[in-house]
Amino acid sequence: SAVISQKPSRDICQRGTSLTIQCQVDSQVTMMFWYRQQPGQSLTLIATANQGSEATYESGFVIDKFPISRPNLTFSTLTVSNMSPEDSSIYLCSVEEGSGRTYNEQFFGPGTRLTVL
Amino acid sequence: DAKTTQPTSMDCAEGRAANLPCNHSTISGNEYVYWYRQIHSQGPQYIIHGLKNNETNEMASLIITEDRKSSTLILPHATLRDTAVYYCIVRVRKQAGTALIFGKGTTLSVSS
């Protein structure tokens, strides 16, 4: 399976600022996904990022608040803009692989733990 | 994707088998059952998936009822490191580019 890394692993930020989270994959993948996991909650999909096209956002998430870049097949960034304490969450990058038995399986990065003061 | 129902929490003694149930009564013929788990503060980990036959791998076994309306994930010899939230997800396997949608899952606590 793909090896996924995220930077930073955690951060503490002041309200009103922005943070860009990086996701790096060790192989080329078509589909990448960004999730948010608020404290004590399950994962919620933010958006789907396909290389070469604009990200597709889920209901309740907008590009101005969570701009996403996908410059190539191994990298993506998620920016959390104009942060408030409600944005304190774990942000997870995920990729979809499509080969052999693991076709269409999703694999997840370790997450970025964000605290907004 | 079909909706799934799982118990909120379960306990298991170390070394015993952990049997985690999942109901998916509205599953359609081309939907697969996937299981993931999330150990505290880590990204979810893929465990196993199946369509209608029972499946086994190095981590677990998946038993799907004949009518496919429910399934059970079996960890044959649970260890303390298996303490995690386990998610049962139903989706169309060939639907490339469609992200997994997570429910609340089952919190499994393994104790010595």
**A54-73 confidence digits (pLDDT tens):** 899 999 999 999 999 999 99
Q: What is the mean pLDDT of residues A5-23?
A: 97
Cβ atoms within 10 Å, residue B44: 27
> Does any CB of chain B come closer than 8 Å to the CB of residue A77?
no
Cβ atoms within 10 Å, residue B16: 12
Cβ atoms within 10 Å, residue A24: 15
- What's the gap between Cα B23 and its chain centre? 10
Residue type, A30: T
Query: If DSSP codes are grouped into helix, strand and coil, which group holds residue B42?
Result: coil
> Does any CB of chain A come closer than 8 Å to the CB of residue B29?
no
Q: What is the mean pLDDT of residues B7-28?
A: 95
**Nearest chain A CA: its distance from B1 CA (Å):** 15
Residues of B in contact with A43 (CB under 8 A): 38, 44, 102
Task: Give the nearest chain A residue to B93 (CA atoms).
Answer: A104
Q: What is the mean pLDDT of residues B6-20?
A: 97
Condensed to tens digits (0 to 9), the pLDDT of residues B46-103 reads 999 999 989 999 999 999 999 999 999 999 999 999 999 999 998 876 555 677 888 8
Residue type, B17: A
Of A42-46, A99-103, B39-43, which has the strongest mean pLDDT? A42-46
8 Å CB contact between A11 and A19: yes
Between A and B, how many residue pairs show a Cβ–Cβ distance under 8 A? 56
CA distance B49 to B60: 10
Report the DSSP pairing between strands B9-13 and B106-111: parallel
- Give the residue from B41, B51, B87 with the most A CB atoms within 10 Å of its CB, the best one to mutate: B41
B41/A4 CB distance under 8 A:
no
